[in-house]
Amino acid sequence: MTTPQDIIRRDVLAMTSYPVPDATGFVKLDAMENPFPLPAPLAAQLGERLAGVALNRYPAPRPEALLEKIKRAMGVPANCEVLLGNGSDEIISMVSMACAQPGAKVLAPVPGFVMYQLSAKLANLEFVGVPLKADFTLDVEAMLAAIAEHQPAIVYLAYPNNPTGTLYDAADMERIIAAADKSLVVIDEAYQPFAQQSWLPRADAFDNVVVMRTVSKLGLAGIRLGYLAGRAAWLTEFDKVRPPYNINVLTQATADFLLDHLDVLDAQAAQLREERTKLAQAVGQLPGAQVFPSAGNFLLVRVPDASVMFETLLTARVLIKNVSKMHPLLANCVRLTVGSPEENAQLLAALKLVLH
């Protein structure tokens, strides 16, 4: 009798699936989500809009009106195109698949977003991780040496980086982009609403750069919508490996509606930036806590014992992310999502159970 072990790739058999813990009943501060719901009147209007969606029809594979609205709302340069994905994850997968020639490599600073490496592995691309400096800034010389040695097909630069929150120096990034003249450089701006700095206005200034974003951190994680902006020469090729109906009708309708109400989401992001400052100051005053600078909606914090911290908060019904085993540079580090004022107060009370 045939079994999965007879058919499935050996490396896949050895893998574990992406862990997503059950957060029912917890203060959920582990996934960098916007904690604020839509205002009730706006949610009601959205419900009316969604009630009219034709669920019996396939979605538009390239919803031109939505694409044009994204370009206008997000300030995409006029000579750039936009490609939609089911979250940034699918865009990363599409880029990996399209670039998966024999022997091709993917390069990124580490620690970084795990999907760069995972998607590379699934596409049979070799992943090259270049360690950051101890302060989580780019080791530019090491990056340049790795690019020269490996000649990667893809270079990822997260701006800011997850899980560190670091906003890399723009001059350092320009040196890397210039050196990676045989690579595609993907600048990942998932946390742009909290960084307030962007490479998107310059997406057409480089032959080898595309900019990737998501609406997840803006407050719409549930609709799973990411987009890639760049020159048509790149996006035309990535579009060839895009599943034909990858953005469902409800996601398209929700995005179209809420792009007309970005002021609401921008106000929520502004409140979270204020809460980030308050939370960083409060956590930094706790004994044994080292808070690293963050341009995201989360804080990376080094504590005396990350495992004890995680388990203690778990008993207090507060869910955070223990990143201490992701990379040696993250030893005894936890990642705290910035929540609502009430959630942050519960988080601080739980932290004080450990740090006293």
Please state, in angstroms and rounded to a whole number, the distance separating the CA atoms of residues 227 and 176: 23
Measured CA to CA, the distance from residue 330 to residue 164 in angstroms comes to 9
Distant-in-sequence, close-in-space partners of 73: CB < 8 Å, separation ≥ 6:
259, 262
pLDDT at res. 206: 95
Q: Which two tokens stand for residue 302?
A: 């080094």
Alpha helices in 184-290 (DSSP H): 192-195, 232-239, 249-258, 262-284
Give start-end residues of each CATH 3.90.1150.10 domain in the chain: 4-40+263-354
SS3 105: strand
Q: What is the CATH number of domain 4-40+263-354?
A: 3.90.1150.10
Query: CATH 3.40.640.10 region(s) of the chain?
Result: 58-253
Per-residue pLDDT at 22 exceeds 90: no
Report the alpha-carbon angle 35-44-341, nearest 5. Answer: 20
Q: Contact at 8 Å (CB) between 198 and 167?
A: no
pLDDT for position 30: 95
| Conformational region of residue 79, where left means phi above 0, alpha means psi within -120 to 50, and beta covers everything else | alpha
Single-letter residue type at 266: D
Q: What pLDDT does 20 receive?
A: 83
Q: Identify each DSSP E strand in the chain by its residue range.
A: 27-28, 80-85, 105-110, 126-131, 154-158, 184-188, 209-214, 226-231, 290-291, 298-302, 318-319, 321-322, 333-337
Amino acid (one-letter) located at 247: I
Range 225-245 average pLDDT: 97
Instruction: Specify the pLDDT at position 111.
Output: 98
Mean pLDDT confidence for 158-168: 97
Measured between alpha carbons, how far is 142 from 191 in angstroms, rounded to an integer?
A: 25
Contacts of 56 (CB under 8 A, 6+ apart): none
For residues 341 and 293, what is the distance between their CA atoms, to the nearest angstrom? 20
| Residue 325: Cβ-neighbour burial (10 angstroms; 0-12, 13-18, 19+) | exposed
Q: Is the dihedral of CA 56, 61, 65, 67 positive or negative?
A: positive
Q: Is it the case that residue 17 has pLDDT exceeding 90?
A: no
> Percent of the chain scored above 70 by pLDDT?
100
Q: Could you tell me whether strands 318-319 and 27-28 are parallel, antiparallel, or unpaired per DSSP bridges?
A: parallel
- Amino acid identity of residue 218, one-letter, is L
Range 131-142 average pLDDT: 98
Residue carrying the six token digits 């599409």: 94
300 Rama class: left (phi>0) / alpha (psi -120 to 50) / beta = beta
- How many residues appear in the chain? 356
* Cis amide leading into 35 (omega within 30): no
* Token output for 114: 């795990």
Q: What is the pTM of this model?
A: 0.95
Q: Does 156 have pLDDT greater than 90?
A: yes
Pick the CATH number of 58-253 from 3.40.50.300, 3.40.50.20, 3.40.640.10, 1.10.10.10: 3.40.640.10
